[in-house]
A and B are shown apart, each in its own frame.
Chain A
Amino acid sequence: MIEYRLKKHPILPIEDFQEITFYWNKKPLKAKEGEVISSALFANGISIFGHHHKDKSAQGMFCANGQCAKCAVIANGIPVKSCMTKVKENMFVESVEGLPELPDVEEKPDISDIEEIETDVLIIGGGPAGLSAAIQLGNHNIKTLLIDDKDKLGGKLVLQTHKFFGSVEDSYAGTRGIEIGNLLANKVEENENITAWTDSIAIFVFHDKKAGILKNNVYKLVSTKVILNAAGAREKFLRFPGNTLAGIYGAGAFQTLVNRDLIRPTERLFIVGGGNVGLIAGYHALQAGIEVVGLIEALPKCGGYKVHADKLKRLGVPIYTSHTVLCANGEETVSSITITKITKDFTPIAGTEKTFACDTILIAVGLEPVNEFTAEAEKAGIPIFAAGDALEIAEASSAMFNGKISGLKVAKFLEADIEEIPHEWYEKAEILKSEPGAELPQIFPEQDKGVLPIIHCLQEIPCNPCITICPTDSIKIKDDPIMGLPNYEGECIGCGKCLTICPGLAITLVDYRKDTENPVVTVPYEVGNYAVEKGDFVKAVNIDGDILAKVKVVGKVVNKQNKTQLIRLKAPKEIAKKVVAFQVQEKSVSKPLKEPIISGLMDDDSMVCLCERVTAGEIRNLIKNGITDLNQIKAITRAGMGPCGSKTCDNLIRQIMREQRIPPNKVIKNVRRPVFVEVPLGKFADGKGGCDE
């Protein structure tokens, strides 16, 4: 039997849990108490949650964020979003086949007034930016209400098992995301000026200057002097034939399933998109013992950090740059993906098609700011600030730092006598959000005795914990103290601290002290599902993942606190400095099928509006007929009228507009309306929440 729950993880603690029984289409199944229904279903190997009423297409996981309704199920008779609804003992869960039935209600409903709350600052989003901003505001004695839609503060930090980039003093570089989330959340919770609401979804900012918030399923109205939008980003979707099959979803959704809920939703994963999100998702998959068949990137080079790409490559995951998805294949759920090489102008090159068997395709083709709260607050005339991805898409380290700045900005806005924001903060903020810079050739140090670190970090990124941690100050960055490349110069004592802290796992230690011919190479390792022990032979690889030699494991040290394993390998001196890691995933995993599968579907068949089932062809036809008002496209096709409220299709429609060479000023934006997330009508009628189950 396939195990759908994680039994071990190199970083995340796997705790015992209370098992409860629930029913899926009348069949009793086991769930973990407190988990959401979608995860309980995945844990039982169920990934199809129903069939769409319009075209009977299989429905399943998509955003894992409560934003769409693709994961809808019927729980105790009521249609709910399975990714947001906790499973309960003896809950009767059914798949949604066509339109759900609305059950009759016997009792008289409770009716009560909606509670209204006043605050000085409302922060929407308890991720790195929102938490950092709240801390600033709290420290300046400003009454702050911070809300987050999850049951735990930290935002996406709680999903990040990897160590963070940035600088130690500004953004906890070298510490794992999950731990940073806890650190910030504790600071917020300890601060008496800050009220933090979890399980609280902002649904709109109304014209009468009130924000509607559903707190633990009870509706509240909040009046505030200032809003700080730290609601993060949402993932962009991609258009390709077959993109509507179950098993195609965002990398963020995947991370939620794996790292928050400790579920293995897939056996064989394929990733589309070589930015940091896609690369990290691949790494998280490997950590969870999931096979990563491959990763493609349309550009000639991955947009994410080289160290992230390198980590995947050397563990055995092929990265295909200048490739795109030709089609996803399968009946209801994904069974394979066909990719093709593309030219510089993104035209597929015939004859280069390859098909890989996989059960899940992750889409990681970029993020866009969640900016609807900003727009509505502006319209309502509430002073609005933004931070983190809601302001500008960048790394979480940058979000923390600009959250800090935004928090102080808001404080200053409310109380003029607060200190000026240090100019260096702005400079640092600029650095932390820097795109990766130049890639330099690797030059190995001449030294071939004693002990020394080899730095396999060849691309300028905002990151410097190695220089901060070295006890002998032997790792230095010239010129720019964050962006520059680290260099070893000095006295290494072989402590290995730089190996443990490096977020890119890009430093090794070569120790010639005992044996100059066959030095010991220490490599950092954190993929526990592929365990290695002393005495094993492993395939040592270079930075590109090429196998250098089979080498023997001569030692293993596990840093209990940090959880990074240090694996000692005995390697011949010719290759010792080149060894970065060892391959864990067999090449056979990423072998294509003998013959590529090219589906009969065309680009016009690709789904653009998943909620209302509107294809690219329908949209393109309208555009060709001169219709460029998104409101009109919506009126005619219903694209954007579904539960997600155009969060998915808006981008895809704009893309088709661009392809049809419609000038941007001719494209009329969709008018945004409340509510940004669907809310049961009864919640507005009962401010006390009596009708809540």
Chain B
Amino acid sequence: MSKPVYDVIVIGAGSVGVPIAMSLAGKKLKVLIIDSFPSPGQGNNKKAIGGVRATHSDYGKIKISQRSIEIFSSWKEKFGDDLGWIFNGYSFPAYNKEDENKLKNLMKIQHEFGLNISWISPKEYSKLVPGICTEGLQGSTYSPDDGSCSPLLALHAFYFKSIEYGTKYNFNETVIDIKLNSNKITEVITDKGKYSCEYLVNAAGNSGKEIGEMVGLDLPIKPDCHEGAITEPVKRFFGPMVVDMRPAEGSANYYFYQNNEGQVVFCITPAPPILGTCDDSTSVFFPQVAKRMVSLYPRLANLKVRRSWRGQYPMTPDGFPIVGKIREIKNYVHTIGMCGQGFMLGPGLGELIARIIIDEKASDDDKILKSFDPYRDFSGMEAFK
């Protein structure tokens, strides 16, 4: 019996894998996605907070996110599905001189890339986020072209579109081995069958490192845990995503925004990082994040928390994803180590991967890919995460 042959097999039906499949299948390629979960987005997609910004510090992420924003924000008009997109912007308020300088220096780079971001006074900021603590507030960045989107709705819109384009999904199926012949993948073996493909894309999120090992690669990816939560919906009362970048005992930054439903979504970065992939919630999260949030924004105290969850950022040492083809294997592409930004990078990356695979790279694609170079020196840190 002959093995099913695909143009591309994508491992992982998440924030990155699904848009990749959509882009590839849209180019008439025969695509199979394999995922261990029973349905799409059951890994970390559904844990994503939903913030989408282009205001990064490097060419690759900026370009990819800008394209993602175009895709998210124009989807409803083009295809009809509401993804919950809103242009609510991002803000990084500074509560000390040091942070102010850091942010202002970063803005210089961001302006060079043509990003719409400005410094606003505490007074202007209080209009955007009425009631926020102004004690010590130096001002804030504000980038109104950034926004937010429902990870669940976006993923499913892409999922159904990819099916419409002919993508095949094999759920409840786990890749257990990948066979190589010299520098080419010849066979993908799962717990349920064997498949051949022209290209293999690793978009396996938390399991990206394990898939890499199957083809002999040692990738510097370590998932660490973050807890997030969502509140009841209320009438819109503040505008942008608020990122409080100050460290505190037990945590680094935390951030929150009000989504299209009126619900406030929030998340905190534990410090030191909690490594591993355990999804079970701990009692630490609520008191830790609540103390910081209500101190910063007392109005939030009366807002009822509805649900919380725990997910992972598959982290690389420098905070940048690992994306692109590799020298050792001809028909393998990385899209892993998203460092918690898989959702916002996903749609843009999907198109990039499709261009790589069909060999129709755009003029600046190599420049983009430089940010995500699998062979880079990982010791540098991202200017601003």
0/1 string, A567-599, CB within 8 A of B gives 1? 000000000000000000000000000000000
A562 within 8 A of B: no
Contact (Cβ within 8 A) A379 B38 = no
Chain B residues, CB < 8 A from A558: none
The interface size of chain B toward A, counting residues with CB under 8 Å, comes to 45
Q: How far is the CA of A627 from the CA of B262 in the complex (A)?
A: 28
Residues of B that sit less than 8 Å from A by CB: 38-42, 46, 130-131, 152-153, 155-156, 231-235, 237, 262, 278, 280-284, 286-287, 289-291, 293-295, 298-309
Q: How far is the CB of B317 from chain A (nearest CB, A)?
A: 27
Q: How far is the CA of A380 from the CA of B278 in the complex (A)?
A: 11
Chain A residues, CB < 8 A from B39: 627, 629, 631-632, 668
Contact (Cβ within 8 A) B237 A102 = yes
Q: How far is the CA of A631 from the CA of B237 in the complex (A)?
A: 30
Q: How far is the CA of A336 from the CA of B41 in the complex (A)?
A: 44
Contact (Cβ within 8 A) A678 B305 = yes
Q: How far is the CA of A636 from the CA of B233 in the complex (A)?
A: 18
Closest to A108 in B: B298
Closest to B234 in A: A102
Contact (Cβ within 8 A) B299 A104 = yes
Contact (Cβ within 8 A) A632 B40 = yes
Given pairs A102-B303, A643-B306, A685-B287, 12 additional interface contacts (CB within 8 A): A53-B233, A53-B262, A98-B235, A100-B234, A206-B283, A207-B278, A207-B282, A212-B283, A641-B307, A674-B308, A681-B290, A687-B287
Which residue of A98, A627, A643 contacts B232 across the interface (Cβ within 8 Å)? Answer: A643
A456 within 8 A of B: no
Which residue of A104, A219, A636 contacts B152 across the interface (Cβ within 8 Å)? Answer: A636
Chain A residues, CB < 8 A from B301: 105, 109, 680-682, 685, 691
Which residue of A79, A678, A685 contacts B294 across the interface (Cβ within 8 Å)? Answer: A685
Contact (Cβ within 8 A) B281 A674 = yes
**A interface residue count range (under 10 / 10 to 19 / 20 to 34 / 35 or more):** 35 or more
Which residue of B282, B303, B304 contacts A208 across the interface (Cβ within 8 Å)? Answer: B282
Which residues of A547-563 are within 8 A (CB) of B?
none
A284 within 8 A of B: no
Q: How far is the CB of A22 from chain B (nearest CB, A)?
A: 19
Which residue of A111, A219, A636, A673 contacts B308 across the interface (Cβ within 8 Å)? Answer: A673
A-B contact pairs, 14 of them (CB 8 A): A53-B262, A79-B304, A99-B233, A100-B235, A105-B131, A111-B291, A632-B156, A641-B306, A643-B232, A668-B38, A668-B39, A673-B281, A681-B301, A684-B287
Which residue of A206, A221, A680 contacts B281 across the interface (Cβ within 8 Å)? Answer: A206
Contact (Cβ within 8 A) A99 B235 = yes
Q: How far is the CA of A100 from the CA of B281 in the complex (A)?
A: 29
| A207-B281, A221-B283 known; A629-B42 Cβ under 8 A | yes
Q: How far is the CA of A641 from the CA of B298 in the complex (A)?
A: 26
Chain A residues, CB < 8 A from B282: 206-208
Q: How far is the CB of B340 from chain A (nearest CB, A)?
A: 19
Q: Is the interface of B mostly helix, strand, loop or mixed?
A: mixed
Closest to A207 in B: B280
Contact (Cβ within 8 A) B299 A105 = yes
Contact (Cβ within 8 A) B307 A682 = no
| A69-B232, A682-B300 known; A673-B309 Cβ under 8 A | yes
Q: How far is the CA of A641 from the CA of B234 in the complex (A)?
A: 15
| A99-B234, A102-B237 known; A675-B308 Cβ under 8 A | yes
Q: How far is the CA of A648 from the CA of B286 in the complex (A)?
A: 26
Contact (Cβ within 8 A) A208 B302 = no
A103 within 8 A of B: yes
Q: How far is the CB of B13 from chain A (nearest CB, A)?
A: 11
Which residue of B232, B235, B280, B286 contacts A684 across the interface (Cβ within 8 Å)? Answer: B286
Chain B residues, CB < 8 A from A674: 281, 286, 307-308
Q: How far is the CB of A16 from chain B (nearest CB, A)?
A: 35
A645 within 8 A of B: yes
Chain A residues, CB < 8 A from B46: 631, 635
A113 within 8 A of B: yes
A107 within 8 A of B: yes
Which residue of B233, B284, B302, B305 contacts A105 across the interface (Cβ within 8 Å)? Answer: B302
Q: How far is the CA of A103 from the CA of B152 in the complex (A)?
A: 29
Chain B residues, CB < 8 A from A379: 280
Which residue of B280, B283, B299 contacts A102 across the interface (Cβ within 8 Å)? Answer: B299
Chain B residues, CB < 8 A from A682: 290, 294, 300-302
Chain B residues, CB < 8 A from A208: 282-284
Contact (Cβ within 8 A) B290 A684 = yes
Chain B residues, CB < 8 A from A380: 280
Chain B residues, CB < 8 A from A679: 304-305
Q: How far is the CB of B95 from chain A (nearest CB, A)?
A: 15
Which residue of A107, A210, A673, A691 contacts B283 across the interface (Cβ within 8 Å)? Answer: A210
Contact (Cβ within 8 A) A681 B304 = yes
Which residues of A393-413 are within 8 A (CB) of B?
none
Chain B residues, CB < 8 A from A603: none
Q: How far is the CB of B273 from chain A (nearest CB, A)?
A: 17
A249 within 8 A of B: no
Q: How far is the CA of A108 from the CA of B291 in the complex (A)?
A: 12
Q: How far is the CA of A113 from the CA of B286 in the complex (A)?
A: 11
Q: How far is the CB of A421 from chain B (nearest CB, A)?
A: 33
0/1 string, A66-81, CB within 8 A of B gives 1? 0001000000001100
Closest to B279 in A: A671
Contact (Cβ within 8 A) A681 B234 = no
Chain B residues, CB < 8 A from A254: none
Which residue of B41, B262, B300 contacts A681 across the interface (Cβ within 8 Å)? Answer: B300
Closest to A78 in B: B302
Contact (Cβ within 8 A) B294 A111 = yes
A101 within 8 A of B: yes
| A99-B233, A99-B235, A632-B39 known; A681-B152 Cβ under 8 A | no
0/1 string, A648-681, CB within 8 A of B gives 1? 0000000000000000000010000111001111
Chain A residues, CB < 8 A from B41: 632, 635
0/1 string, A8-37, CB within 8 A of B gives 1? 000000000000000000000000000000
Q: How far is the CA of A217 from the CA of B284 in the complex (A)?
A: 19
Contact (Cβ within 8 A) B294 A109 = yes
Closest to B307 in A: A673
Chain A residues, CB < 8 A from B307: 641, 645, 673-675
Q: How far is the CB of A429 from chain B (nearest CB, A)?
A: 33
0/1 string, A187-230, CB within 8 A of B gives 1? 00000000000000000101110101000000101000000000
Q: How far is the CA of A219 from the CA of B287 in the complex (A)?
A: 9
Contact (Cβ within 8 A) B295 A109 = yes
A367 within 8 A of B: no
Chain B residues, CB < 8 A from A111: 291, 294-295
| A674-B307, A682-B290 known; A101-B231 Cβ under 8 A | no
Q: How far is the CB of A78 from chain B (nearest CB, A)?
A: 5
Q: How far is the CB of A151 from chain B (nearest CB, A)?
A: 20
Closest to B151 in A: A635
Contact (Cβ within 8 A) A678 B306 = yes
Q: How far is the CB of B38 from chain A (nearest CB, A)?
A: 5
Q: How far is the CA of A632 from the CA of B307 in the complex (A)?
A: 17
